[in-house]
Amino acid sequence: MMASQGLPPHPLDPLSASEIQQAVAIVRAAHENVYFNILSLHEPRKAELTAWLQDRSSNTRPRRVADVCVIAPGGKVADGLVDLADKAIVQWNWVSGKQPIITMEELQAVEHVVRVDAKVIEQCEISGIARDEMHKVYCDPWTIGYDERFGSDRRLQQALMYFRPNLDDCQYQFPLDFCPIYDADKGEIIHIDIPDKRRPLRRTEPINYHSDAINAQGGFRTDLRPLEISQPEGASFSLNGHEIEWQNWSFHVGFNYREGIVLNDIGYNDKGVRRPIFNRLSLVEMVVPYGNPEHPHERKHAFDLGEYGAGNMTNSLELGCDCKGHIQYLDADLAARDGSVRHIKNAICIHEEDNGILFKHTDFRDDSVIVTRARKLIVQQIFTAANYEYAIQWIFHQDGTIQLEIKLTGILNTYSIAEGEDTNGWGTEVALGVNAHNHQHLFCMRIDANVDGSNNTAFMVDAVPSDEPVGSANNKYGNAFYAKRTKLSTTGQATTDYNGATSRTWDLCNTNKLHPVSKKPASYKLVSREVPSLLPKPGSLVWKRAAFARHAVHVTRYRDDQLWPAGRHVPQTSGETDSDTLAEWMGDGSESIDNEDIVLWHTFGLVHFPSPEDFPIMPAEPMTVLLRPRNFFQNNPVMDVPPQRCTTASQVAGK
């Protein structure tokens, strides 16, 4: 990524291309022939970082350290830390029974192997594919998830198989019914899951979304007139390295192979005083469980961040397509499996958008009016997880709100369905012969709170009627209701679920800092309304592996390196014995989180019952999480934003 020329990087800046090369050389000097599955910034310890952020000139700048995970010949896995100033490996552990995050190169290898594997060719023939059509056979390799037949010691992928009649056709329309298992160390297919009831390839008319296909069906619509965005004086934010300032906000934008965008050191300049709000905000995990119990579909539950990486799979963004207006981009450098540097141009786009009305009021008696328009600042990345795309927008609002908006688009994961076959309710036949299975997308957002200081307390807030019966002295007419606040004092108490019936929200409060008028603590409220429960049952494989998804909210005490709730190495975990996961950090539930340095883990998402409108490509479905200031500012913090129109009663009368 860009660093300010000549200056040392901010301690939270991603590793630069030269730092990656340096780390690779240091590792290679001690361990030849290793492949790099992780090579990323090892973030500074919080205490050290906080001291430096508070006084950058006199406190020690945290050292640059690389976090490394390699696979050595024979499939041996090692985790290590490399100190870039000392040019030394400072920690190195060979680990067993762990499979690190998968790499693009590993994924791409599978397709070549399936096309020439004799047993796969045999299955293709059974499906109705001629031997000379094998070049039209494709696969989406997924990590196997976990399959008890094979355990965790062998590095495995499952190949979801497809046929593509023509190069430009969408393969997801032509799924095949069998599933080869690939061993990444051996580079070969070790097993094929074959259903009892076969579903031969159905050569239906392709439904495509590309220009040729649309032109063949009468062409694109012609009634759209230009809608231009013009910012003749540029944008209103400033970017210094990876630090952004905009409309009283200031923060640092990090990026890594796993979480993609990471926002750090977020603060708001409140009338000259910079007030800290969050130390670190990011998406840290995600699981996509599919709901079809028929073998081998029970295995489909991708951890898109922990198994593949939202950074590694990120798109290079293009002006006028992915973002419009006056854009600033940040590039990303990632280490490839062979230790070379993979440069992703325009990995992040930063821009402003008009955001409708910020506030408005018309006085009904005299027509005096004020109307002020809002704008928002968007920090965006888009990543592609095989068939799916996720557009991740971190949005800053002038009124102190932070919004995470995720747009889900791309293509459904599909399986074949025979003529006359029933989906049994586990999916929808979205096009002839195409069964799209029910699934959920459950994201986990990690909120390292710093609301006016590091000691914070979480509360759960429910809108409830008065506890007093109708006719009683305190609720005579039965109309009373209030915000019932439940303090979450321990990790156990904080394990809570969503309740739409009570408009449930959660507050991250600084109870040491009361609002002078409301006498309530300075807070940021988590407002999230798309919070389905994990549908795989307690005791199921997904439930075991994705402990973070069992509840909408978990709160833990901050500890360095507790970042990945499903573990550092997610592929092929069984959920039985995994260490270093949120389940473990929760302990026995008795740890106090009252007025401590706390982290809130929020799992939210959606349930997708596919329909034909989602095929062959899904119109983007948005979902939103808000973090809103409550009792934080003296009063409305945006009254100084210039209005579009403002007339007072006396001005109206004076006319």
Ligand X SMILES: *[C@@H]1O[C@H](CO)[C@@H](O)[C@H](O)[C@H]1NC(C)=O
Interacting residues with ligand X (CB under 6 A):
36-40, 103-104, 248, 257, 269-271, 309, 312, 334-337, 342, 453-455, 595-596, 637, 640
Minimum distance, C-beta of residue 103 to ligand X, in the bound complex (Å): 4
Minimum distance, C-beta of residue 166 to ligand X, in the bound complex (Å): 28
304 is annotated as an active-site residue = yes
Give CA angle at 3 (2, 7), nearest 5°: 160
Q: Which is nearer to ligand X, 86 or 640 (CB)?
A: 640
What's the chain's length in residues? 655
Q: Which is nearer to ligand X, 257 or 278 (CB)?
A: 257
Q: Which is nearer to ligand X, 127 or 398 (CB)?
A: 398
What is the C-alpha separation between 597 and 524, in angstroms, rounded?
Answer: 15
Minimum distance, C-beta of residue 235 to ligand X, in the bound complex (Å): 15
Cβ-based neighbours of 582, under 8 Å, separated by 6 or more:
547, 548, 554, 556, 565, 566, 601
- Out of 388, 498, 524, 558, the active site residue is 388
Minimum distance, C-beta of residue 215 to ligand X, in the bound complex (Å): 35
Q: Which is nearer to ligand X, 342 or 360 (CB)?
A: 342
Residue 611 phi, psi dihedral angles, 5° rounding: -145, 165
- Out of 79, 117, 169, 304, the active site residue is 304
Minimum distance, C-beta of residue 342 to ligand X, in the bound complex (Å): 6
Instruction: Specify the DSSP element, H or E, that contains 148.
Output: none
Q: Which is nearer to ligand X, 315 or 454 (CB)?
A: 454
Residue whose structure tokens are 């000691």: 455
118-127 vs 104-116: helix crossing angle, rounded to 10: 70
Residue 398 phi, psi dihedral angles, 5° rounding: -65, -30
Cβ-based neighbours of 146, under 8 Å, separated by 6 or more:
152, 299, 541, 545, 572, 573, 574, 575
CA-based nearest residue to 368, from 654, 651, 655: 651
Q: Which is nearer to ligand X, 384 or 455 (CB)?
A: 455
Instruction: Specify the DSSP element, H or E, that contains 30.
Output: helix 17-30
Distance linking the first and last C-alpha atoms of the chain: 58
To the nearest 10°, the Cα dihedral for 114, 115, 116, 121?
90
Query: Where would I find the beta strands (DSSP E) of 59-178?
Result: 65-72, 76-83, 88-95, 137-143, 156-163
Minimum distance, C-beta of residue 21 to ligand X, in the bound complex (Å): 12
Helix (H, G, I), strand (E, B) or coil at 182: strand
Helix (H, G, I), strand (E, B) or coil at 134: helix
Cβ-based neighbours of 552, under 8 Å, separated by 6 or more:
496, 497, 498, 528, 531, 602, 603, 604
Cβ-based neighbours of 297, under 8 Å, separated by 6 or more:
290, 415, 426, 437
Cβ-based neighbours of 237, under 8 Å, separated by 6 or more:
244, 245, 246, 247, 328, 350, 352, 377
Minimum distance, C-beta of residue 341 to ligand X, in the bound complex (Å): 10
What is the C-alpha separation between 496 and 70, in angstroms, rounded?
Answer: 37
Q: Which is nearer to ligand X, 308 or 585 (CB)?
A: 308
- Residues 279 and 12 sit within 8 Å (Cβ to Cβ): no
Q: Which is nearer to ligand X, 269 or 362 (CB)?
A: 269
Query: How many other C-beta atoms are found inside a 10 Å radius of the C-beta of residue 351?
Result: 21
Give residue 648's identity as a one-letter amino acid code.
T
Minimum distance, C-beta of residue 56 to ligand X, in the bound complex (Å): 19
Which residues are 464's β-sheet partners?
482
Q: Which is nearer to ligand X, 80 or 610 (CB)?
A: 80
CA torsion through residues 130, 131, 133, 139, sign = positive
Sheet hosting strand 427-431, strand order edge to edge: 414-416, 434-437, 427-431
Q: Which is nearer to ligand X, 139 or 335 (CB)?
A: 335
What is the C-alpha separation between 538 and 220, in angstroms, rounded?
Answer: 48
Q: Which is nearer to ligand X, 11 or 276 (CB)?
A: 276
Residue whose structure tokens are 């970042």: 563
Minimum distance, C-beta of residue 525 to ligand X, in the bound complex (Å): 18
Which residues are 184's β-sheet partners?
none
168 is annotated as an active-site residue = no
Catalytic residue set: 304, 388
